[in-house]
Amino acid sequence: MKCQFCNCQNSKVLDSRASPENNSVRRRRECLGCGKRFTTYETIESTPILVIKKDGSRQPFDIMKIKKGIIKACEKRPVSLNQIDEISSSIEKEFQNAMAQEITSDEIGEKVMDKLKILDEVSYVRFASVYRQFKDITNFIKFLDEL
Ligand SMILES: [Zn+2]
């Protein structure tokens, strides 16, 4: 952090204060060159993830939408809300860790299916049938055969 008074590169931190409301840390520093004091703010860079829909339009990634879809698929199944929470937040984390800025709705659907498949087969089939919008029964049967 360059001192604004003398351009010296070295400073020491006198005080750090987190301000939770905007996810930043405020640091009071003292320049080791000229001794003047200044304040810096550190923030976490968060890039919103955009979802590309089938028609090419984009909208912000919304974890709640994924969760709702999973809840619907798991209706009356022995799947707890906790497990649904875990699935949706692990999907969110995977996309964040991949540093993806744009993902397709297909990628989300595939990930949800991967996880549901392990958790509960009936929910998985329900989700897949809505998600893949089987146009005819033959496709659907073919899909079931591949299970
Ligand atoms: Zn200085």
In the sheet where 102-104 sits, what is the strand order?
58-60, 50-52, 102-104
Q: What's the confidence (pLDDT) of residue 45? A: 66
**Ligand 1 is a single-atom ion; what residues have CB below 5 A from it?**
3, 5-6, 8, 31, 33-34
Rounded CA-CA distance 112/96 in Å is: 15
**Tens digits of residue pLDDT in 111-125:** 999 999 999 999 998
Q: Is 74 helix (H, G, I), strand (E, B) or coil?
A: coil
Q: What's the confidence (pLDDT) of residue 77? A: 93
Higher confidence at residue 96 or residue 16? 16
- Asked if the model's pLDDT at residue 128 lies above 70, the reply is yes
Give the start-end residues of each E strand in the chain.
Answer: 11-19, 24-31, 37-43, 50-52, 58-60, 102-104
What is the distance in A from the centroid of ligand 1 to the CA of 44?
26
What is the distance in A from the centroid of ligand 1 to the CA of 19?
26
Q: What's the confidence (pLDDT) of residue 115? A: 94
What is the distance in A from the centroid of ligand 1 to the CA of 4?
7
Rounded CA-CA distance 146/141 in Å is: 9
Distance of CA 5 to the CA centre of its chain: 41
pTM of the model: 0.62
| Cβ atoms of 103 and 65 closer than 8 Å | no
Specify the residue for token string 């200044």: 38
Domain ranges in the chain are 11-43, 50-145
What is the distance in A from the centroid of ligand 1 to the CA of 10?
8
State the average pLDDT for the chain.
Answer: 86
What is the distance in A from the centroid of ligand 1 to the CA of 14?
15
